[in-house]
Amino acid sequence: MITVHHLNNSRSQRVLWLLEELGAGYEVKRYQRDPQTMLAPPALLAVHPLGKSPVITDGTHTIAESGAIIEYLVDRCGDGRLKPAAGSPERLRYTYWLHFAEGSAMPPLLLRLIFNRIAAGPMPFFVKPVARAISAKVNEAFIAPNLARQLKFMESELAAREWFVGDEFSAADIQMSFPLEVARQRAGLNESYPKLMRFLQRIHDRPAYQRALSAGGAYDLAS
């Protein structure tokens, strides 16, 4: 039996969704973030030394890192589904988006969260203006331009094809869903990117996505 160690409001929602798309059997073990720090509870450290989610266990295997989990599950339960054939141009695109999501899209989104928190967090009054100025500078010089460039790039990719890889839905779309959900929350993804907004609407409409939401619990990402 595959066990998904699921942290509320997290990337592991993607893993539940993939398993639902594949129609694979699984069980969910739930973990709750600390409401103040948003960190995972120490119980996750007993599953994997980094204590992050997603992580899955399957027999003697413990697998962490969303991309690795997706690769594992598609090979284990996919029977050729949700992954383009080896050697095809689509396969190359599949590999690209699978890595892009965590390797390129998530870092500036995480920086945005951290610097938003620095600017808004509690601190002595005389430090506040300095913290806010540094935060604004980093945002203006680095975070905002990178986010804007990435959104534009992703929008143009979806202008050329139905899904990120091609005209078929694939597990790369599942992997790409999280940065786009987060970008809508905190990086200005709105109706000025109609293809990306349509992508989000289409994934939300999928029955397997809905079932994964029921399995994982309410989903409310931090801004």
Ligand X SMILES: N[C@@H](CCC(=O)N[C@@H](CS)C(=O)NCC(=O)O)C(=O)O
**Residue of 3, 57, 72, 102 that binds ligand X (CB under 6 A):** 102
How near is the Cβ of 124 to ligand X at its closest, in Å? 27
**Beta strand segments in the chain, E:** 2-7, 26-31, 55-58, 61-64
CA 25 centroid distance within chain: 22
Closest distance between ligand X and the C-beta of residue 36, in Å?
12
CB of 56 vs ligand X, minimal distance in Å: 11
CB atoms within 10 A of CB 85: 9
Q: What is the length of the chain? A: 223
| Residue 5 or 83 with smaller CB distance to ligand X | 5
Strand 26-31, strand 2-7: pairing: parallel
Q: Is 11 in the site for ligand X (CB under 6 A)?
A: yes
Residue 66 or 170 with smaller CB distance to ligand X: 66
- What is the total count of residues that contact ligand X (CB under 6 A)? 11
Residue 7 interacts with ligand X (CB under 6 A)? yes
At its nearest, how many Å lie between ligand X and the CB of residue 66?
3
Classified as helix, coil or strand, 3 is: strand
| Contact flags string 167-186 toward ligand X, x per CB under 6 A | --------------------
- How far apart are the C-alpha atoms of 46 and 173, rounded to whole Å? 30
Residue 161 burial (10 A CB sphere; 0-12, 13-18, 19+): middle
The first and second tokens of residue 1, run together, are: 């039996």
DSSP, res 166: S
Among 10, 135, 139, 146, binds ligand X (CB under 6 A): 10
Q: DSSP assignment, residue 40?
A: P
Give the integer Cα–Cα distance in Å for 47 and 52.
9
- In the complex with ligand X, the residue whose CB is nearer, 7 or 172, is 7
Q: Residues 138-167 vs ligand X: string with x where CB under 6 A?
A: ------------------------------
What character string, x for contact with ligand X (CB under 6 A) and - otherwise, covers 38-77? -xx-----------xxx----------xx-----------
Which residues would be at the binding site for ligand X (CB under 6 A)?
A: 7, 10-11, 39-40, 52-54, 65-66, 102
